[in-house]
Structure 1
């Protein structure tokens, strides 16, 4: 796909992503969907209203009535779409920096569109084939105020509320100024938790931290856990479809470790789980221990969703799936990454023992991640050619499902272009920190050496 990456389409607002482009996406989506009604929602970014207006206009121009949900977490939007049986457009750049924005498309089943459907919409965008209607047939717009509350109510009825309440848990929460600030604090309080927050006010400038919930951005959450003597810390990204955790000592928990712990609690013999090609050995170990099958896909929620649906069609059970970035699926609940719900499932475990004990079996690995930014297609091409050459000469069996993953037995390294930013990402994992750093550095050196002279 030329326009849609691993999780929709994104770019710097008013540069790569413009109102005109969003208008075309909406017109194409409305044309392909061929429905009477659709939803439009956004996260807290300062350009959110601008692009939501463009999306609503695009839908209305092809005769679609628009439900405007306002600032809403992505999982709340998907729930609304499923219940109302209408598709939706979410204006969000998820974890990207404040200057970015983006578009996610949701089907009337409440699931992000699969690759085949996105390709049909992309074809209409590129060909500018839109079913524009006459002036007296354009869609109407209405405001919907209930989407966030209905979403919280459903979660309260789904998780083990009594178990969590009995655990007498104090939660330190960092919604990161994103859409989750409107829903997660109240949700966890209604679960019976005491909640303290940092970066808890919705603010599209993200003054307290960048939206991506990685360790370097979450130092204030670790401090809050310690200062408040909290039992656990929970952080979201901009649209609240991820959850990253801190233990009771204010120590950061790797997303791969929490994914492994949640998978160990949810998987049984004969089950299947789905993860991306940058999967940690931690999840491999869990699958081996419980007798579950692990399926790998290219990175990105769209790819995981597509594979989960394929497995369902084959009669497989997939109780849990996800990536090590905090994006975990519980498909039996809903086929969407849901930061608040992920947090609640982790709280069910915290009700029985401290987070440090929960993830203790999955902490014997070290992860290194390096991002190389490029400024031109020539630089990207040079780095990808260097990655291929490096993989061919490596003493390891490469997996090329998404980039180049090299497994060495005691460690692995993956290099691939980002689907959402102008970056080439390098991931490495090993039981020894020095080994992981060495693998990542060797790939980084090979790629930077291939860059053309300025």
Structure 2
């Protein structure tokens, strides 16, 4: 696909992502859906309202009435779509920096669109093919209240509220000034936790930290947990579809580690897990221990959703899916990532174990994971760097997995190189039980990639 990447469309606002492009995407989506009503929502970014207005105009131009949801976490949008049967154009750039914005398209079942539907919408944009209405059929706009409250209520009902409350947990929450600022602190309080917060005021400039919940951006949360005797810290990205945890000492729990712990709790023999090609050996081990299958896809939520749907159509049970970046799906709940729900499931795990976070995740910490990026300036440089990566891979004794980029498995370690679907970067991942080996594999691949500049 030319427009849609691994998780929607993203780019620098008013440079790549323009009101004109958002207008066209909304018209194409409205035409493809053929729906009488379509919702529009956004995260807290400063350009969010501008692009939400453009999306609403595009939808109205093809005859759709528009439900304006305002600022809402992506999972709250999913609940609204599922409960009302109304699809949504969601303005968000998820974990990207504040100068970015983007578009996600959510179906009337509350799930991001599959690849085939996105391809149809993209083709309409590229062909300038829209079902415009005239002045008599133009859509009207309605502002919808209570979307976040309704979402919070159903989430609380979907988890073991009593078990969490009985554990008497203190939870430190860092929404990163994003959409979770209006939801997660309330959710965890109503689950019976004492809640502390940092970076919890909605602000699209993200003044307290960058939006991506990676260790270097979570120093304030780590400090809060360590100095307050909190049991756990929970951090979200800009649209609140991810959750990353901090243990009781203030150390950030690797996302692959928490994913493995949650999967070990969820899996039974005969189940399947869907994850991406950068899957950690931690999850491979958990699947083997539980006699469960592991299905690998290209990186990105859209690909994981598509494969999970295919497995459900084959009557294969998929209790958990996702990636090691904090983006975990619990398909029996909803086939979408929900940061607050991921956090609540982790609280269930803590409550049942009656142990601190560090001990709960200890069985899944045997591997060292490295991720580094090589940036490029334009499409030509990108292709030169990927060609250099291909040449390096061809000299390896390992057979590459080409599901998404090139993954080399060495038995005791692996390395993966692939282009990002959302940023001008080549991603390099490596993992090994030996930290030095993981670092060396990643650095050797980086040098090979950057030799192509």
With the length of structure 1 as denominator, give the TM-score of the two structures: 0.99
Aligned counterpart, 1:169: 169
* Partner secondary structure for residue 136 of structure 2: helix
Matches within 5 A, 1:4-403: 4-351=4-351, 352-403=354-405
Q: Give the distance between the partners of 2:189 and 2:110, measured in 1 at CA.
A: 26
Q: CA deviation at 1:392?
A: 1.2
Q: Give the distance between the partners of 2:355 and 2:276, measured in 1 at CA.
A: 29
Q: Deviations over 1:39-63 (max 9, x none)?
A: 0000000000000000000000000
Q: Give the distance between the partners of 1:309 and 1:134, measured in 2 at CA.
A: 38
Q: CA deviation at 1:364?
A: 1.2
**1:410 and 2:412 correspond:** yes
Q: CA deviation at 1:269?
A: 0.5
Q: Deviating runs (4+, > 3 A) in structure 1?
A: none
Aligned counterpart, 1:442: 444
> Number of residue pairs matched?
451
In structure 1, runs of 5+ residues without a counterpart are none
Q: Give the distance between the partners of 2:298 and 2:232, measured in 1 at CA.
A: 31
CA-atom RMSD in angstroms: 0.5
Q: CA deviation at 1:329?
A: 0.3
With the length of structure 2 as denominator, give the TM-score of the two structures: 0.99
Q: Give the distance between the partners of 1:202 and 1:123, measured in 2 at CA.
A: 35
Q: Deviations over 1:2-33 (max 9, x none)?
A: 00000000000000000000000000000000
* Partner secondary structure for residue 249 of structure 1: coil
Q: Give the distance between the partners of 1:401 and 1:202, measured in 2 at CA.
A: 38
Q: Deviations over 1:114-157 (max 9, x none)?
A: 00000000000000011110012100000011110000000111
* Partner secondary structure for residue 417 of structure 2: strand
Q: Give the distance between the partners of 1:194 and 1:248, measured in 2 at CA.
A: 14
Q: Give the distance between the partners of 1:376 and 1:15, measured in 2 at CA.
A: 14
Q: CA deviation at 1:433?
A: 1.0
Q: CA deviation at 1:407?
A: 0.4
Q: Deviations over 1:330-353 (max 9, x none)?
A: 000000000000000000011122
* Partner secondary structure for residue 370 of structure 1: strand
Q: Give the distance between the partners of 1:11 and 1:200, measured in 2 at CA.
A: 25
Q: Deviations over 1:398-446 (max 9, x none)?
A: 1000000000111100000000001000001111111011000101111
* Partner secondary structure for residue 438 of structure 1: helix
Q: Give the distance between the partners of 1:271 and 1:350, measured in 2 at CA.
A: 23
* Partner secondary structure for residue 180 of structure 1: helix
Q: Give the distance between the partners of 1:421 and 1:449, measured in 2 at CA.
A: 20
Q: Give the distance between the partners of 1:377 and 1:179, measured in 2 at CA.
A: 32
Q: Deviations over 1:204-235 (max 9, x none)?
A: 00000010000110011100001111000000
* Partner secondary structure for residue 171 of structure 1: strand
Q: Give the distance between the partners of 2:328 and 2:437, measured in 1 at CA.
A: 28
Q: Give the distance between the partners of 1:315 and 1:197, measured in 2 at CA.
A: 42
**1:427 and 2:435 correspond:** no
* Partner secondary structure for residue 135 of structure 1: coil
Q: Give the distance between the partners of 1:243 and 1:448, measured in 2 at CA.
A: 32
Q: Give the distance between the partners of 2:109 and 2:187, measured in 1 at CA.
A: 24
* Partner secondary structure for residue 425 of structure 1: strand
Q: CA deviation at 1:395?
A: 1.6
Q: Deviations over 1:261-294 (max 9, x none)?
A: 0000000000000000000000000000010000
In structure 2, runs of 5+ residues without a counterpart are none
Q: Give the distance between the partners of 1:286 and 1:237, measured in 2 at CA.
A: 26
Q: Deviations over 1:78-133 (max 9, x none)?
A: 11011110110110000000000000001111110000000000000000011110
* Partner secondary structure for residue 117 of structure 1: helix
